[in-house]
A and B are shown apart, each in its own frame.
Chain A
Amino acid sequence: MKIVIEGNHAVSYGAKAADVDVIAAYPITPQTQVVELLSEMCATGELNAKFIKVESEHSAMAAAVGASAAGARAFTATSSQGLLLMHEMLHWAVGARLPIVMANINRAVGPPWNVWSDQNDSLSQRDVGWLQVYCESNQEVFDTVLHSFWVSEQLMLPTMLILDAFYLSHTSEIVDVMEADEARKFLPPFQPKQFLDPKDPHSFGNLTAPDAYYELRYEIDEDLRRGIELMKKADEEFEKLYGRSYGIIEEYRTEGAEILLFTSGTITSTSRVVIDEWRDRGKKVGLVKMRLFRPFPIDDVRRICRPAKKIAVIDRNIGFSIGGIWAQEIRAALYNSGYHKPVFGFIAGIGGRDVTPETVSEVLDHVDHMDTPDQDVYWIGVKHEPVHSAR
């Protein structure tokens, strides 16, 4: 059924379609509508799930951990400071091998206080072992909730699906939503092999000495890597049933491209327009939309980059002193590829600053006029005239 909904409600409808058992959440701008709608669904009985109100995001994830450990399909959503407060529990979910799914609405981290979009909250969690999927549209958000459970429950690892604050979270689009009955064709009920059962008591996550801890970490790494193929398979299975596919990376007009522009999230949509213009002008440029950040699809990135001459990456985030995080990852992926490509790293849109077609063109201009980067990081649009700051 096609309805017009904002991105946050696409998350809620996705969780409903996934027929989650437990939702534990704490509200935060710009995530609030996600749990608002879910709490209403639980209250009316439209969704048969336990909605647990908690006093912090740390508790939200702790409750999701408990629910998932008991064999429930657990869901939550958060943003920015809330995600950072969860940090300890994010590790827990991974170490305990719990397939929790969480939506994170990308919001800049304070101080200074800022509710607008950037990716530093989620990308700060890059090494905890969660899968991370970045979405471009509300439909993709809805579908990714289902992908996430499908993959997570096979890997027994948690997935974070990510959408930009306001550009998606508060923007309405047409979304084809489905009910749990229909979604069940794709996503079977959660049947964990090992779960907390009072009739067979065990302690979970108990003290484990170096002789076994190491192997458990190895298993997480191995399984997370398997997530690349599983995420592809999820997308394929989903397409067979419902006709929609995203891949883990989308290549847009990359045939014969000499410059490849890497983007993620909603900057991708803007970039599509710019790439079209540049192609119309005969420029050999192509767009690569990175959807899967963890596990990082190293081989796919190498394959895509091989025919190109130059790589440009727009990061709506900053790893202070070393540049954008996507650029770092792509550079690292290419280092042992056996070939060399110059990688231009651009910072744009941090703290919700608009990334317009002009911004993207400026990025491509830079790359077009240079053979190799003369800086490790380019900050686009830094003002050198008086700034109108605090609202």
Chain B
Amino acid sequence: MKKKSEKKRIYRGVEEMPIAAISESDMSWNKTGSWRNVRPLYDPKTSPCIAGCPAETNIQGYIKLMQQKEYEEAVRLLWEKNPMPSVCGRVCFHPCTEKCARGGIEEPLNIPAIERFLGDWAIENGVTETPENEAPRDATIAVVGGGPGGLSFAYFMAKKGYPVTIYEAKEELGGVLRYGIPEYRLPKDILDKEIGRILELGIKVKTGQDVGENVSVEEIGRHSASFLAIGLQKSRRLGLDGEDAEGVMTGLTFLKSINAGSPVSIGKRALVIGGGNTAMDVARSAIRLGAEVEVVYRRTRDEMPAIKDEVEEAAAEGAKLTLLAAPVAILVENGKFKGIRVQRMELGEPDESGRKRPVPIRGSEYEIMGDSLLVAAGELSNAQAFEKMVKTTNGLIVTDDIGHTTHERIFAGGDVVTGAATVIEAIARGRKAAKYVHARLTGVIVELEREKKVISMSDINEAYFTPTRQVATSHVPLEGMRNRFAEVKQRFTDEEAREEIERCMSCGVCNACDICWMFCPDAAISRQDGVYTINYDYCKGCLICQHECPRGVISSEGEDV
């Protein structure tokens, strides 16, 4: 900008004057900020997607980096909260998308598809990590259970530089990801690669180590800190006679056999009990084995705990859903399963889970015949081995908010603490515990993060966003699934990913759109390197910036007058 003369020009009469009024010096002497009784301020907030994620994955942040084509930076930001995006992009129930504010305009972002795209991109491009060097000398860490919770804790500790050993009872790591979730939802090679990247941080793995059997609980307790994440091992039984008959098995056993490649015989017609994700996995796997499948669930589709997509896809693949029916007897002939007798139910008052309680209808019993019965009515924990060291209730390990058990050096997380929950919940608990374990071992005080306001739809200035449809995840045709364990949902193409990430509104987080800078009538906002500063000498407090901000970044507060 040209330096303007400080001196006021004197015109000697009309002949010297310009034809129209034009300023000759600037108005900087006029400190209009003194008029202000309310001040705007840049006040970044939490995007609803991030608030919706149990692991607080910085979804807005990594999408913004993706928009800038910084994929590697993006995936590193994602890993800060969740080391397994390729897994979660496939199996998570994505509460982030449910919260996405774009859903208030037309359709929410397809966040799982974006997460999966980015996670797979990192795998394909061999992005690796190196540990930091923040761990104290001589500290050693044990993790019991190599499922998502244990892997998460191990990852975040190893990242700090701790020597970590995972004790895994089975032959391979992964827990429910490997032995529960079928191949068509989560291909094993993706799981292997994502776990492989975590282990590259220097994590030691001991498989076939069943604590309480061939490893002592004391050995675990000797480490500087240990983390118990053994998950839920036992299937809930129906409590009916005949559950041991030939042709009856638990859903977990069934899935484990398939995932392990063991032969399993379920006959031509399989009955599945349950409405959770395990039940859907069982039903869809049974369809792939060529069976005709009928799922029996005692409430309605609305109460099913399974991810909605999974229920829809199971139905589309041909699973018959028999709702509001509960088994009351298992029919056995010559030691072999023949069918079940079910009783019709109706919904009554909500129970302690908040779902409507199924109430039996008298005299409504009938029989459903089948060759096999796969029971997926929930899972139970098996934490007996640890009961002498840590407090348990109903088989679950008791911890405080940060995952600390009643034992000084033992932490716990995942389903063994929460009961049947989700992969992302387990990952979240692993990270949280790791943060506090590191703090305890180093004596560094963890500062509480300031709770930021979560943006709601009313904070978004809709005028700036053109409604656009979500780029849907494509999937293979859902008919004729026999023998097809290949992945159903397809990954976004580059073009699909680019199109979908552009829909992100960056709720509550400044993305240097310049709107405030352009609108400020006092030119009191300056910008440098994408950062804006308000000059309160001149800001009159009109709050046009706050009103116009497309994404609710700017807040205001009253001035002390």
A and B part of one assembly: yes
* Residues of A bordering B, CB below 8 Å: 95-97, 156, 194, 199-206, 208, 212, 215-216, 218-219, 223
Residue of B13, B21, B27 near A205 (CB, 8 A) is B21
A202 x B20 contact (CB < 8 A) = no
Asked, given contacts A199-B2, A215-B14, whether A97 binds B23 with beta carbons under 8 Å apart, the answer is no
B246 to chain A, nearest CB (A): 79
Asked, given contacts A200-B2, A201-B1, whether A212 binds B11 with beta carbons under 8 Å apart, the answer is yes
Residue of B1, B2, B11, B18 near A194 (CB, 8 A) is B18
Asked, given contacts A199-B2, A206-B23, whether A215 binds B18 with beta carbons under 8 Å apart, the answer is no
- B20-37 interface mask toward A, CB cutoff 8 Å, 1 = contact, 0 = none? 111110010000000000
Q: How far is the CA of A199 from the CA of B3 in the complex (A)?
A: 11
B17 x A223 contact (CB < 8 A) = no
The answer to whether the Cβ of B19 comes within 8 Å of any Cβ in the partner chain is: yes
B21 x A216 contact (CB < 8 A) = yes
B20 x A95 contact (CB < 8 A) = yes
B22 x A219 contact (CB < 8 A) = no
Residue of B11, B19, B21, B22 near A156 (CB, 8 A) is B19
Which residues of B have CB within 8 Å of A218? 14
A97 x B19 contact (CB < 8 A) = yes
A205 x B11 contact (CB < 8 A) = no
Name the residue on A nearest B14 (C-beta).
A215
B22 x A202 contact (CB < 8 A) = yes
Which residues of A have CB within 8 Å of B19? 97, 156, 194, 216, 219, 223
- B194-209 interface mask toward A, CB cutoff 8 Å, 1 = contact, 0 = none? 0000000000000000
Which residues of B have CB within 8 Å of A206? 21-23
Name the residue on A nearest B18 (C-beta).
A194
A128 to chain B, nearest CB (A): 15
Q: How far is the CA of A199 from the CA of B1 in the complex (A)?
A: 6
Residue of B1, B13, B20 near A204 (CB, 8 A) is B20
Q: How far is the CA of A202 from the CA of B24 in the complex (A)?
A: 7
Q: How far is the CA of A212 from the CA of B11 in the complex (A)?
A: 9
B96 to chain A, nearest CB (A): 40
A324 to chain B, nearest CB (A): 34
A242 to chain B, nearest CB (A): 30
Q: How far is the CA of A218 from the CA of B2 in the complex (A)?
A: 31
A100 to chain B, nearest CB (A): 13
A204 to chain B, nearest CB (A): 6
A202 x B23 contact (CB < 8 A) = yes
Question: Chain B: interface residue count, which band?
Answer: 10 to 19
A194 x B22 contact (CB < 8 A) = yes
A215 x B17 contact (CB < 8 A) = yes
Q: How far is the CA of A97 from the CA of B20 in the complex (A)?
A: 6
Which residues of B have CB within 8 Å of A204? 20-23
Q: List 19 A-B contacts (CB under 8 A).
A: A95-B20, A95-B21, A96-B21, A97-B20, A156-B19, A194-B18, A194-B19, A199-B2, A203-B22, A203-B23, A204-B23, A205-B20, A206-B21, A206-B22, A206-B23, A212-B11, A215-B13, A216-B20, A219-B14
Q: How far is the CA of A206 from the CA of B2 in the complex (A)?
A: 19
Name the residue on B nearest A198 (C-beta).
B1
Which residues of B have CB within 8 Å of A95? 20-21
Name the residue on A nearest B16 (C-beta).
A215
Q: How far is the CA of A201 from the CA of B18 in the complex (A)?
A: 16
Name the residue on B nearest A201 (C-beta).
B1
B20 x A194 contact (CB < 8 A) = yes
- If A204-B20, A215-B13, A215-B14 are given as contacts, then 15 extra A-B residue pairs at C-beta distance below 8 Å, sorted by A number, are A95-B21, A97-B20, A194-B19, A199-B2, A201-B1, A203-B23, A203-B27, A204-B21, A205-B20, A205-B21, A206-B22, A212-B11, A212-B21, A216-B20, A219-B17
Q: How far is the CA of A194 from the CA of B20 in the complex (A)?
A: 9
Question: Which 3 pairs from chain A and chain B are nearest by CB?
Answer: A97-B20, A203-B23, A215-B14
Which residues of B have CB within 8 Å of A156? 19-20
B23 x A216 contact (CB < 8 A) = no
Name the residue on B nearest A96 (C-beta).
B20
A245 to chain B, nearest CB (A): 30
A208 x B17 contact (CB < 8 A) = no
Q: How far is the CA of A200 from the CA of B24 in the complex (A)?
A: 11
B13, B14, B22 — most chain A CB neighbours (10 Å): B22
Which residues of B have CB within 8 Å of A203? 22-23, 27
Q: How far is the CA of A30 from the CA of B23 in the complex (A)?
A: 40
B2, B11, B17, B21 — most chain A CB neighbours (10 Å): B21
Which residues of B have CB within 8 Å of A201? 1-2
Which residues of A have CB within 8 Å of B22? 194, 202-204, 206
B160 to chain A, nearest CB (A): 51
Complex interface residues of chain B between 90 and 132 (CB less than 8 A to chain A): none
A212 to chain B, nearest CB (A): 7
Q: How far is the CA of A205 from the CA of B21 in the complex (A)?
A: 5
Which residues of A have CB within 8 Å of B24? 202
Which residues of A have CB within 8 Å of B13? 215
Name the residue on A nearest B27 (C-beta).
A203
Name the residue on B nearest A222 (C-beta).
B14
Q: How far is the CA of A218 from the CA of B11 in the complex (A)?
A: 15
A91 to chain B, nearest CB (A): 13
Q: How far is the CA of A95 from the CA of B21 in the complex (A)?
A: 8
Which residues of B have CB within 8 Å of A96? 20-21
Name the residue on B nearest A155 (C-beta).
B19
Q: How far is the CA of A97 from the CA of B17 in the complex (A)?
A: 13
Which residues of A have CB within 8 Å of B14? 215, 218-219
Which residues of A have CB within 8 Å of B18? 194
Residue of B1, B17, B23, B27 near A212 (CB, 8 A) is B17
Which residues of A have CB within 8 Å of B2? 199-201
B176 to chain A, nearest CB (A): 60
B11, B23, B24 — most chain A CB neighbours (10 Å): B23
Which residues of A have CB within 8 Å of B23? 202-204, 206
A366 to chain B, nearest CB (A): 46
Complex interface residues of chain B between 1 and 58 (CB less than 8 A to chain A): 1-2, 11, 13-14, 17-24, 27
B544 to chain A, nearest CB (A): 19
